[in-house]
Amino acid sequence: MIGLVLVLAAMITIPGLLGTSAHAAAAAPAKPTDIETSMMNSINTVWTLVAAFLVFGMQAGFVMLEAGFARKRETVNVLMECIFDTCLCGLLFYAVGYAFMFGNGNGFIGWGGLGADGKTITNWFFLQNTPATYGSTGIPVLAHWIFQYAFADTCSTIVSGAMIGRTSFRGDILYSIGITGFIYPIIGHWAWGPDGFLAVMGTSSVFAHLSAQPFRDFAGSTVVHTIGGVASIAGAMVLGPRLGRIFARDDKEKGGLPAGHNLLVAAVGGFILWFGWYGFNPGSTLSGMDMQGIGRVAANTTLAACAGGFAAMLAGLWWGPTKGKFDLGFTINGFLGGLVAITCPCYWVSPFGSILLGAVAGFVVFAGIYIIEWFRIDDPIGAFSVHGLCGIWGTLSLGLFASGQYGAATPTGADNSSPVAGLFYGGGFGVLKAQFIGSLVITVAVFVVTYIMMFVINKLGHPWKLRIEEEGETGAGGIDVFDHGIEVYPAQDDEISLSGLFDKGVKSPTTA
């Protein structure tokens, strides 16, 4: 302890006595040389790619979470749909999605960038005519593409969550083309595109007279999660509930959301998603040089998840269907709701603010699941409550909890010259107003467009109709056998389990 005190004392006093170069550099930072710029761009590119790989790894979490919360008879369908979405999304985001979302164009849709003459806009479809690096980030376009593809894939996977168990696989193909190729990238351009009308709202756009602040969404509470969650609930409303689904409103004894067939798989999937979120949020800095920002975002992400899980667990304990019991499903969805909520404001809030907004998200998840149940909408995994409602809450929470200390991440580090301040930190209603406008516009647009698309697909004849035939739901093996020809546990048809073998006298390997 004495040695530790001496070390700390030396760290405090010696630099002041010696007048180190660090003090001089803080007063007048030097302009980076070409070599330093190249090194920074390389560091930022590696950081972005590592984050992209983490976000892509979330697909394993999604398939496990959805499969675990689903019934056994619809598990293969969940797995196949998520895998198909991942493959389709990559091809569509390469062909048109990236250009629509991140290319220049107008406030509503992008398509490319300035050509060699500096005046005409060339299209970026199929990643043609793209520059070496994206904007001012210094990151190669292809590295930026793989990062954003992982985000697009996340959104497309969310959509399937509320549509489990009664969506034909061919219907999946059709709506996935609409979501990943057009709805997500075009509406996402409004908030994340270089000239999207919500992104430039504070200076110029159709809403410039309504707000002096731009719409902000650091890592996608709205762009990824609200779009995915709202599209999901639109599909669930068009489909109607699964056959035989009983709602608590109609039968208090037998009604309510059916239990998932494998909560072990669901819990592990939830943890994998939490792990992948460390690419989702800190990676959105696109800058490995922003040391303080990356650390703060990672800490905020962790604390919001913890608070969300804890709050949802308490809500289930106090008011849940198994009152007085600690509900695993609510707890998993609670920490996921906290992660969704912190995704928008993670760069601009303090750790304490993250705890508060994460806790609110946990209660939002709990309430949302009951609201959806009351309206007789069948959402097997709570996709709308977790991603839709918590995405909206997280977007609005920036206008409340932005601490007024942090500005923007840049390739060379943090730029805090124009910090973002919310209502609770003396910033007034300006940021909250901009967030409300952006969230409302995107939520309404996604719901209307997606509902129309799902409705049209559902009017098609079989086998392309959105809803599977009745035989696919009620027949032996359910939708798994009907659409894919296999059950998820074919070796367990005889209902033999390890515990059953042990009960019959078969010795455990550890005791043999």
Domain locations along the chain: 47-105+143-471
Res 205 pLDDT > 90: no
Stretch among 9-13, 230-234, 324-328, 440-444 having the lowest mean pLDDT: 9-13
Section 146-157 average pLDDT: 97
Res 156 pLDDT > 70: yes
For 94, other C-beta atoms within 10 Å of its C-beta total 15
**pLDDT: which is higher, 310 or 489:** 310
Q: pLDDT tens digit string along 373-393?
A: 999 999 999 999 999 999 999
- Nearest 5°: the CA angle 388, 410, 431 is 45
Per-residue model confidence (pLDDT) at position 30: 55
**pLDDT: which is higher, 226 or 494:** 226
Cα(299)–Cα(393) distance, integer angstroms? 20
Which whole-number Å values give the CA distances from 393 to 139, 266, 359, 463, in the listed order?
31, 24, 11, 38
- What's the CATH number for 47-105+143-471? 1.10.3430.10
Q: pLDDT tens digit string along 424-466?
A: 999 999 999 999 999 999 999 999 999 999 999 999 988 899 9
Per-residue model confidence (pLDDT) at position 281: 97
Res 17 pLDDT > 50: no
Stretch among 3-7, 165-169, 306-310, 376-380 having the lowest mean pLDDT: 3-7
Position 417 confidence tier, pLDDT thresholds 50, 70, 90: very high
For 413, other C-beta atoms within 10 Å of its C-beta total 17
Q: Quick one: angle between helices 141-159 and 263-280, nearest 10?
A: 150
Per-residue model confidence (pLDDT) at position 317: 95
Stretch among 89-93, 339-343, 367-371, 463-467 having the lowest mean pLDDT: 463-467
Position 116 confidence tier, pLDDT thresholds 50, 70, 90: low
Section 252-271 average pLDDT: 90
Contact 361, 331 (CB under 8 A): no
Section 320-341 average pLDDT: 94
CA torsion through residues 226, 231, 236, 238, sign: positive
Per-residue model confidence (pLDDT) at position 495: 47
Per-residue model confidence (pLDDT) at position 22: 40
Position 210 confidence tier, pLDDT thresholds 50, 70, 90: confident
Position 252 confidence tier, pLDDT thresholds 50, 70, 90: confident
Per-residue model confidence (pLDDT) at position 492: 53
Res 1 pLDDT > 70: no
**pLDDT: which is higher, 461 or 414:** 414
Res 21 pLDDT > 90: no
Position 119 confidence tier, pLDDT thresholds 50, 70, 90: confident
Per-residue model confidence (pLDDT) at position 28: 43
Per-residue model confidence (pLDDT) at position 426: 95
Cα(131)–Cα(98) distance, integer angstroms? 13
Res 3 pLDDT > 70: no
